[in-house]
Chain A
Amino acid sequence: MLKKFLLATLIVLAYANASSAEVITVPLYKLAPVKAVDLKCINGVYSLQIPVPERWRIKRATLGFDYVNSTNLISEISQLVVKLDNYPLAQRKLSAQFPEGNMSVDIPVSMLKSGYHTLTFQTAQHFSRECERPCSPDLWTTINLDRAALRVEYELAPVPLKLSYINNYIFDPKTFPYGEVNIVTADNSSNTLTLAGIVASGIAKRFDYKKVYFSMSRSPKAGMDNVLIGDGKFVEQHLGNNVRVSGPLLKITHLKADTTHALIVVSGNNTDEIKLAAETLANISHSFPGTDEARPTEFKLPEIIPYSGRLVLSADKKYDLKTLNLNTHTFEGINPAPKDITFRLPSDFLIKENQYADLVLNFVYSPGMRGDSVMTIMLNNRSVRAIHLNQAGGDNIEGYKIHIPTYLFKPGNNTLSFVPVLVPNVKECDLLMSNNMFLTLFENSTLYFPPMPHFVELPAIELFMLNAFPFTRWPDGYDTLVYVAKADEYTVASAMNVIGMMTQKNGFPLFGIKVSVEKPDSWKGELIVIGDVMSIPDELKAAAPLKLLNPGTVPYQVIRNWEGEANLAYSKQASGLGPGLGALMEFESPYKRGRTALMFTASNTGDVWALTNALLEAHVQAASAGDMVLVDLTTQPEYRISSLSAGGKYSTGKLGRLFFIDYYLYSYPLVYQILIIVLIASSGLALFFYIRKVRRRRLNA
């Protein structure tokens, strides 16, 4: 009996231990693009989205924040309200006597179901009991998101053993602050790593923009989700006889002694079969299949078009706004929130002057607004046009055409915003009714972008950070080789991190990418090199802008100068990166002219992995440009970054039928100059001799 009791106690304790809650504290600025919010006017509102992963069972959630309000506010009629999904959680008077305050708000767990929740800070602010200007400078409250935090206590729910839960449950973009996945392989051969790359790419795509760290090992790791890749023998080694591999196989099971994490099996009898299983895994994007295993026999991808990818706008095609995810929308009230359309242009668009994108708008606006009401069209936060809404009786406008010069667009992400400013036609102290003011923008409005050639000057790491250009010119990574200079645990995990990042940038799984541990001297495509300095071949180091040889050449900027103006000194020295410093360098491949090599390196493989982790941070990506980026890994999480353009330039682009001429003319402008001079000289001489002959004939007549 006692034995039974002790056993039961142990089981309870073990269970209690296993299900003990995780605690996570997330600074709010990680969930919003700003560090402080100003709530202005009589009705100030700011909202942000809080994701709740489906596998979380939240035990408790508390929101804490500081605020400062204007000392001109009248406390009795000024207040701050915190809402979740439009339901008030807490409110507080804004006191002129105590303008600084903090709030701690317990969020009811029942409200935090899986999905995205809108957290709103809203103020009602007044400095006068009589009539007042609705947007007087006296009316403000600032919330410091930098010091605000959401503390969540949660525990993980058991993973349902259905393959469809791979999507939006196991690999969930709502996971925060990051995802973690371990890939288990039998070896680090090129074939295996290529398969792992496809799997990593598919997983990263499921996480959408959320950063995900990969690791690789020979056996599953506890405390995270694992993917096991290998043939039947390798699977049997880890799962015993329960799993029979007779062909391509996808299977989900629990991690040993941990039902909250999954072990996903990607297997087959040979590489092709495993690849088929991996590609199938990478594409599961809805609730099918409902079983724990699938045996795929065929996988057919859609036609892969160069330069396609997530939200990429095709040139020479007219899109209506509905297609661009902007349905008919009505802006209401005095200061309605703007609406954005976000799209991407290929990174190598040669944006030419003298070409225009056409935006044709259909909209209607209400009567009774003041004559200075406008709708501003903004492109990448720059106003490009304001439409005057000056008809007192309102208007229905169809086919309002706006030409936007293409040079205002940029390669990569672009945001087109519609920002209405609707002004009521009342005087101060009149009864303000704003409900009559509206502007409806119809979804059949169109946007057309003219045809553009693809041609760009490289190196430009910023383009890699935009959409992994040029490695995703073929969106599936075809024509790209990831060279793992040293096949150790860190370096291969770094390769998976890079592949994951590239996938998330372009939004297309990298089914065509190749990973190799062999020296890539015969590779004629785009090349990604990952490894510590010692293991990278000398010819690659010699081609890089920072020549990590011994002695090596180091470029230094002498003075800060205008962009594009060379102002570099070169020092030849025997030195090195040293621990804690990572380097990312882009340069022309020494194995094929016009192709790109991108090198991730550090003094040891641990730092290489840390470098690839650092590069997953948005602010590190934003600061990476030129052809050489040095990341001080010891300054985590802020990271000290130096970007520089120090190496030679080369060009790449979409090549037409006259490839040879295009290539040489663009790549070697000097050839063109010489050609012009030769042409002029030879035409001049030919004309001279010809006319001389004609004249002689004439003079002898």
Chain B
Amino acid sequence: MRLLALVVLASTLFVLFRFTERYLGTMYQVIIGWGSLSLFVVLYKLKNSQKPPARIFLIVIAAFITLRYFIWRTTDTLLYTGIYDLLGMSLLYIAEIYTVTIHFLGMFINIWPLHSETPPLPDDESKLPTVDVFIPTYTEHIEIVRITVTAALQIAYPKEKFKIHILDDGSTIARRNNPATADAAWERHFALKSLARELGVNYLTRENNGHAKAGNINHGLANTQGELILTLDCDHVPTRDILNNTVGFFLRDEKLFLAQTPHFFINPTPVEKNVVANVNISGENDMFYRVIHRGLNSWNASFYCGSAAVIRRSHLESIGGISGKTITEDAETSFLLHAKGFNSVYVNRPMVCGLSPETFDDYIIQRTRWAQGMIQLFIKHNPLFEKGLSWGQRLCYFNSCFFWFFGLSRLVFYIAPATFIILGMRVYHASITQILAYALPHVFATFFLMDFLYGKVRRPFFSEIYESVQSLFLIPAVISVIFNPDKPSFKITPKGTRLEKDALNPLAMLFFIVVLVNLAAMPIAVSKWFSFPMYRDVIIITTAWCSFNILLALMSLGTFWEMKQVRQHHRIMAKGQVSVLFKRNNETIEGRMLDVSLTGLSVAIKPSFALGPHEDVIIEATDSYGESYAFPAVIRRHRNTVNGYLCGAEFACHKENYGQIVRFVYGDGKRWMDLWNENIRSKGSPKILLNLLKRGVKGCYGCLIMLTKAGKRRVNAITLTQTAMSIKLTFPVVKRYIIRPVDIVRGISPRPERT
């Protein structure tokens, strides 16, 4: 019945738009397009526009504008003008189908996000379930594991009710017996075992590394008995309240299999970091966990993200543990459990902090895994037709999988206008008036809707940059998994890599090619303006499009200037009062904490005396739970300001107070909440974009240098291979079109069809 209602609604809309488009003149359509857009903007500016039903009205208007565009695009612009034109036009149209589908799915998911309030835990501790904390590790530095385990030990939960397990996959028996890895594996084995003994936690390893992380967790499952499992990546340091804020959901809902919490990163992704130093641009992670996941939660489709999540053992075991058919085992496991009718919940409160990949190469490795894994899920378990899922869940999972095809559509958008200008392929048939009537309202409505949905966590235009920088590199990975869904293997994301100096990543070369192609189209467009007056409308459209491509590619290229990262531990912005006791005069000065890391903190103080070098101090602070801390420290550097001194203090860290420092730095959940809320974007994107553009131009110069004889040696094999692949793919097409006259036919051509 519901489906029937939807079909009737869709048919009515189609009929209405079809006939309207057909019979009302284009100028009238201009009025309808811009009128709808104005209505959208007016509603958008209303104070309560984010609250339903105003929010839903806004989304419906945006859907109307886009649907209208898409129907016009389908019924009016797909004209056959030749076989090659058809090919180009079809590719562009398919790319647009993709973007429109994703746009609609985005509207659907985010129509009314759900914030799940944490239910309180019972006072009677005996009613609490037992919890196993799994910290899987592979080859990460022992110190990273130490921090996480130390922080996990601080979790506020009855000690007899939870156990911590280090699941070591880096020193499995197989690795220890393999001559290539044996030394490191044995060393790691002893170090982790001794760490576990030292901290009083359980250490587990296994025979071999079968099924990677999924296999590791399943091995942990087989050797433990806790009712609930908290999984933490070894670089995901938990706060003390993580179980207090999640376990209650399991007591309330017997069918709940998952309580997922956000992944909160204290370091920016390469894109964020390279855009502008010291400016918080808010990353993809924020958008996913702060907006999209709340949307997924409203459709009971919040899925396991591999860490920072609590899972019910019994439900997990009902499907044989963590699934390993795909390399995104986490999403796949959730998918199977949802299909069995179990529920999930998303807790919108950061309770772990972790590290993003530091370099572009690592970033791309991580995204490639996600893309390949989700496409494997798409191919192996087509979410749209999986039995047991609600239609809302189907669409949510479909969106999560289908999204990863964006690289292909971006590539088409990058080259489409140039194919018209350079090769004469007519891929988009529209006049300026039609663009005004249909395309521009759609483009603006999409832009405003993105801002409406994600504006709190995402600056305008940055989604395009994020997508763009990943797009070209994901294409080979996506294509390979389409042709061989079993091929991809789990590649762990490298974390904690450090960059010693600023450098242009050779991956920038592909964007340099995109810039060159679109730039080359410009003078040709000018020439065509004069020689083909009949096509001036299309020339205007494609030239504007090329300009946009150049801007986007330049800005993407700008993000490939990798900024150096030499700090051992990332500083975390922090707030709060601290007392600084100077040992030499026994005077206590009140100060303001500015940032904190595992090695020390920054503090603003206004002492009545002058500071000397290397002052010995004791820093006293209180966390949000009211617990007091006192850390001996040395002020390593300071500088005068109008309001006193800005000091950088280094903790005097030793075995006895290490746990306290970890507890203070990472254990305070309110600190992450404060940062989480501060991450909301500020205005001023144009300045950042301009800066990015400058870096892009500089990047072009860098690419030119690379292309010189000396520079060529610096281009790594991946870039060369990818560039060669691109050229190999495109050359036959270019060749075919270059020899094909665009307008003037010389010599004998095929006979026309006779009537």
Which residues of A are in contact with B by a Cβ distance under 8 Å? 318-320, 323, 350, 352-356, 360, 362, 384-385, 387-388, 391, 395-401, 403-405, 407, 444-446, 453, 455, 653, 658, 661-662, 665-666, 669, 672-673, 675-676, 679-681, 683-685, 687-688, 691-692, 694-695, 698-699, 701
Write out the residue numbers on chain A whose beta carbons fall within 8 Å of the beta carbon of B392: 694
The CB with the most chain B CB atoms within 10 A, among A395, A397, A676, A694, is that of: A676
**Contact: B754 with A320, CB < 8 Å?**
yes
In whole angstroms, how far apart are the Cα atoms of A224 and B222 in the complex? 116
A653 → B minimal CB distance (Å): 8
Known: A355-B79, A362-B752, A688-B56. A695 touches B114 (CB 8 A): yes
> Which A residues touch B61, using CB under 8 A?
680
Contact check: which of A318, A353, A405, A699 meets B26 at CB < 8 Å?
Answer: A353
B300 at the interface (CB under 8 A from A): yes
Instruction: Check if A453 sits within 8 Å of B754, measured CB to CB.
Output: no
19 contacts between A and B (CB under 8 A): A353-B434, A354-B77, A354-B79, A397-B745, A398-B751, A405-B534, A453-B22, A453-B23, A661-B19, A666-B23, A675-B16, A676-B32, A680-B64, A684-B56, A684-B60, A687-B111, A688-B52, A691-B52, A698-B114
Residues on A with C-beta less than 8 A from B430 are 353-354
A658/B15 in contact, CB under 8 A:
yes
* In the assembled complex, B24 has its CB within 8 A of some CB on chain A: yes
Chain B residues closer than 8 Å to A666, beta-carbon distance: 23-24
Contact among B56, B64, B749 with A676 in the assembled complex (CB-CB below 8 Å) = B64
B741 to chain A, nearest CB (A): 10
Given A661-B15, A672-B24, A400 contacting B534 (CB threshold 8 A): no
Q: Does any Cβ of A come within 8 Å of B746's Cβ?
A: yes
CB < 8 Å neighbour of A399 from B32, B52, B749 = B749
Is the C-beta of B298 less than 8 angstroms from some C-beta in chain A? yes
Cα distance A695–B112 when bound, in Å? Answer: 9
In the bound complex, CA of A382 to CA of B474 (Å): 50
Residue of B nearest to A397 (CB): B745
CA distance A354 to B29 in the complex (A): 15
| B728-753 interface with A by 8 A CB criterion | 744-753
Distance, CA A398 to CA B745, complexed state (A): 9
B19 & A701 in contact (Cβ 8 Å cutoff)? no
The CA-CA distance from A653 to B64 in the complex, in Å, is 27
B753 touches A318 (CB 8 A): yes
Chain B window 51-82, contacts with chain A (Cβ cutoff 8 Å), 1 for yes, 0 for no:
01100110111001000000000001101010
A354 vs B433: C-alpha distance when bound (angstroms): 10
- Most A C-beta atoms less than 10 A away, residue of B59, B76, B433, B534: B534
A384 to B16 Cα, complex, angstroms: 36
Contact with A along B414-445 (1 / 0, CB 8 A): 00000000000000011101100000000000
Closest 7 pairs (CB-CB, A-B)? A688-B53, A684-B57, A399-B752, A353-B431, A360-B752, A684-B60, A666-B23
Task: Report the minimal beta-carbon distance from B96 to chain A, rounded to whole angstroms.
Answer: 16
B20 touches A672 (CB 8 A): yes
Docked pose: A398 CA to B23 CA in angstroms: 38
Residues of B within 8 A of A680 (CB): 57, 60-61, 64
B76–A354 CB distance below 8 A = yes
Chain B residues with Cβ below 8 Å from A396 are 748
Total interface residues on B, using CB and 8 Å? 56
- Judge whether A698 and B745 touch: CB under 8 Å: no
Closest CB of chain B to A278's CB: distance in Å?
38
In the complex, chain A residues whose CB is within 8 Å of the CB of B16: 661, 665, 675, 679
Q: Return the chain A residue nearest B68 by Cβ.
A: A676
Chain A residues closer than 8 Å to B12, beta-carbon distance: 679
> Does residue B42 face the partner (Cβ distance < 8 Å to A)?
no
> B60 to chain A: which residues have CB within 8 Å?
680, 683-684, 687
Contact residues in A for B116 (Cβ distance below 8 Å)? 699
- Flag whether B190 is at the interface (Cβ < 8 A): no
B701 at the interface (CB under 8 A from A): no
Min C-beta distance of A123 to chain B, whole Å: 36
Whether B13 is near chain A, meaning CB under 8 Å from some CB there, is yes
Query: Are A399 and B53 touching (Cβ within 8 A)?
Result: no
Residues on B with C-beta less than 8 A from A398 are 748-752
Also in contact, A701 and B749, with CB within 8 A (given A672-B20, A695-B114): no
Q: From B111, which residue of chain A is reached at the shortest CB distance?
A: A691
**A694 neighbours in B (Cβ, 8 Å):** 298-299, 392
Cβ-defined contact, A391 with B746, below 8 A: yes
Q: How far is the CB of B702 from chain A (nearest CB, A)?
A: 43
B503-536: contact bitstring with A at CB < 8 Å (1 yes, 0 no)?
0000000000000000000000000000000100
CB-contact partner of A698 in B22, B64, B300, B429, under 8 A:
B300
Q: Cβ of B9 < 8 Å from any Cβ of A?
A: yes
Nearest B residue to A384 by beta-carbon distance?
B534
CA of A397 to CA of B753, assembled, Å: 14
Q: How far is the CA of A403 from the CA of B82 in the complex (A)?
A: 11
Q: Is B534's CB under 8 angstroms from A695's CB?
A: no
Candidates B56, B434, B534; contact of A354 at CB < 8 Å = B434
Q: How far is the CA of A360 from the CA of B81 in the complex (A)?
A: 13
Complex Cα–Cα for A405 and B532 (A) = 13
Are the C-beta atoms of B744 and A388 separated by less than 8 Å?
yes
Is B224 an interface position by the 8 A CB rule?
no
Interface string of B3-39 (1 = CB under 8 A from A): 0000001001101100110111010100010011000
B253 contacts the other chain (CB 8 A): yes
Considering the complex, give the chain A residue whose CB is closest to the CB of B18. A658
* B343 on the A face (CB < 8 A): yes
Q: A691 touching B112 by the CB < 8 A rule?
A: yes
Contacts of B608 in A (CB 8 A): none
Task: List residues 214-265 of chain B with CB under 8 A from any CB of chain A.
Answer: 253, 255
Closest to B52 in A: A688
Question: Whole-angstrom distance from the CB of A135 to the nearest CB of chain B?
Answer: 26
List which B519-563 residues lie within 8 A (CB) of chain A: 534
* A676 to B13 Cα, complex, angstroms: 9
Bound form: Cα–Cα A365–B22 in Å: 43
Nearest-Cβ distance from residue A310 to partner chain B, whole angstroms:
21
How long is the Cα–Cα vector from A401 to B83 in the complex, in angstroms? 14
CB-defined contacts of B112 to chain A, threshold 8 Å: 691, 695
Shortest Cβ distance from B538 into A: residue: A354
Of all chain B residues, which has the CB nearest A408?
A: B534
**Shortest distance between the CB of A383 and any CB in chain B (Å):** 9
CA A398 – CA B299 in complex, angstroms?
61
A354 and B431 within 8 A (CB): yes
A354 to chain B, nearest CB (A): 5
The reply on B755 being an interface residue by CB < 8 A is yes
B77, closest chain A residue (CB): A354
A177 to chain B, nearest CB (A): 41
Measured CB to CB, the nearest residue on chain A to B76 is A354
Contact for B57 among A353, A385, A404, A681, CB less than 8 A: A681
Enumerate B272-300 residues with CB–CB distance to A below 8 Å. Answer: 298-300
Bound CA–CA A350/B255 (angstroms): 61
* Contact between chains at A658 and B19 (CB < 8 Å): yes
In the complex, the answer to whether A662 meets B111 with C-beta atoms within 8 Å is: no
Q: Find chain B residues with CB under 8 A from A675 CB.
A: 16
A318 and B255 contacting across the interface, CB-CB below 8 Å: no
With contacts A320-B754, A354-B79, A354-B431 known, is A669 near B28, CB below 8 A? yes
In B106-136, which residues have CB < 8 Å from any A CB?
111-112, 114, 116
| Cβ-defined contact, B744 with A387, below 8 A | yes
Output the nearest chain B residue to A564 by Cβ-Cβ distance.
B27
Say which residue of A395, A669, A695 sits within 8 Å of B298 (CB atoms): A695
Closest to B433 in A: A353
B749 and A665 within 8 A (CB)? no
Contact B534 A662 (CB under 8 A): no
Which A-chain residue is minimally distant from B252 (CB atoms)? A701
Using A354-B430, A446-B755, A694-B392 as known contacts, say yes or no to A455 and B56 having CB atoms under 8 A apart. Answer: no
B111 and A397 contact, CB distance less than 8 A = no
> B745, A701: Cβ atoms under 8 Å?
no
Compute how far the CA of A312 lies from the CA of B746 in the bound complex, rounded to whole angstroms: 34
Q: Given the complex of chains A and B, what is the CA–CA distance between A173 and B410 in angstroms?
A: 66
CB distance from A350 to the nearest CB of B (A): 7
Q: Which residues of B contact A665 (CB under 8 A)?
A: 16, 19-20, 23-24
Shortest C-beta distance, A493 to chain B (Å), equals 41
